[in-house]
Homo-oligomer: A and B are copies of this chain.
Amino acid sequence: MTSHSTNMRIKLPTICIILEVILIILFGVFVRYDKETDSKKWHAHHDNNGSEIENDFYYRYPSFQDVHVMIFIGFGFLMTFLKRYGFGSVAFNFLIASFALQWATLMQGFFHGMGSDGKIHIGIESMINADFCTGAVLISFGGILGKTSPVQLLVMAVFEVTLFAINEYIILNIVEAKDAGGSMTIHTFGAYFGLVVSRILYRPHLEKSRHREGSVYHSDLFAMIGTIYLWMFWPSFNSAITAHGDSQHRTVMNTYYSLAACTLATFALSSLLSEEGKLDMVHIQNASLAGGVAVGTAGEMMLTPFGSMIVGSLAGIISTLGYKFLTPILDSKLKIQDTCGIHNLHGMPGILGAIVGAITASMATHDIYGDGMANVFPLVADGEVTASGQGVRQAIALGVALGFALIGGCIVGFIMKIPIFGTPPDTLCFEDQIYWEVPEEHHASHEEMTAVATDEGMNA
Using CB atoms and an 8 Å cutoff, list the residues of chain A in contact with chain B.
Answer: 7-13, 16-17, 19-20, 23-24, 27-28, 31-33, 36-44, 46-47, 52-53, 55, 57-59, 61-63, 65-66, 68-69, 72-73, 76-77, 80, 83, 86-87, 90-91, 94-95, 98-99, 101-102, 105, 122-124, 127, 150, 214-222, 224-225, 228-229, 231-233, 236, 244-250, 252-253, 256-257, 259-261, 263-265, 267-269, 271-272, 274-281, 284, 288, 302, 304-306, 309-310, 313, 367-373, 375-376, 434-442
Copies in the complex: 3
Taking a contact as CB atoms closer than 8 A, the residue among B33, B214, B436 that contacts A439 in the complex is: B214
**A72-B232, A261-B20, A261-B24 known; A216-B47 Cβ under 8 A:** no
A306 pairs with B98, CB closer than 8 A: no
Partner of A87 from the list B23, B47, B220, B274 (CB cut-off 8 Å) is B220
Contact A264 B20 (CB under 8 A): yes
Question: Cβ of B39 and Cβ of A370 under 8 Å apart?
Answer: yes
Say yes or no: A123-B441 contact (C-beta < 8 A), given A27-B306, A370-B44.
Answer: no
* Further pairs besides A39-B368, A90-B228, A221-B222: 8, Cβ < 8 Å: A8-B271, A24-B261, A38-B250, A39-B250, A40-B368, A42-B372, A57-B252, A127-B252
| A276 cross-chain contacts in B, Cβ below 8 A | 7, 9
| Cβ A95 vs Cβ B264 within 8 A | yes
User: B20 contacts A265, CB within 8 Å?
Assistant: yes
Say whether A8 contacts B277, CB under 8 Å: yes
On whether A13 and B248 interact (CB within 8 A), knowing A40-B369, A224-B90, A371-B47, the answer reads: no
- Chain B minimum-CB-distance residue to A271: B12
Contacts of A225 in B (CB 8 A): 73, 77, 225
**Cβ-defined contact, A261 with B43, below 8 A:** no
Contact between A39 and B246, CB atoms less than 8 A apart = yes
Other-chain contact of A28, B39, B76, B288, B306 (Cβ < 8 Å): B306
Query: A33 touches which one: B24, B231, B304 (CB < 8 A)?
Result: B304
User: Are B376 and A39 in contact, CB atoms less than 8 angstroms apart?
Assistant: yes
**Known A23-B261, A65-B62, A72-B228; contact A302-B39, beta-carbon cutoff 8 A:** yes
**Do A263 and B94 have beta carbons less than 8 Å apart?**
yes
Q: A16-B264, A278-B436, A435-B278 are contacts. A250–B33 as well, Cβ < 8 Å?
A: yes
Residues in B with CB closer than 8 Å to A61 are 62-63, 252
Interchain CB contact under 8 A, A372 and B39: yes
Q: Do A439 and B220 form a contact, CB below 8 Å, given A42-B372, A250-B39? A: yes
**Complex A-B: 18 CB contacts under 8 Å:** A9-B277, A16-B271, A20-B261, A20-B313, A24-B313, A27-B305, A31-B304, A39-B375, A61-B62, A61-B63, A86-B221, A90-B221, A91-B281, A217-B438, A217-B442, A278-B434, A278-B437, A281-B436
Contact A271 B13 (CB under 8 A): yes
State whether A36 touches B249 (Cβ < 8 A).
yes
Evaluate whether A41 and B9 lie within 8 angstroms (CB atoms) in the complex, with A55-B249, A222-B221 already known: no
In the complex the two chains form, what is the Cα distance from A68 to B90 in whole Å? 23
Asked whether B99 lies within 8 Å of A264 as measured between CB atoms, the reply is yes
Given contacts A19-B264, A102-B261, A123-B249, contact A279 B436 (CB under 8 A): yes
Residues on B with C-beta less than 8 A from A439 are: 83, 214-217, 219-220
Would A277 and B40 count as touching, CB distance under 8 A? Answer: no
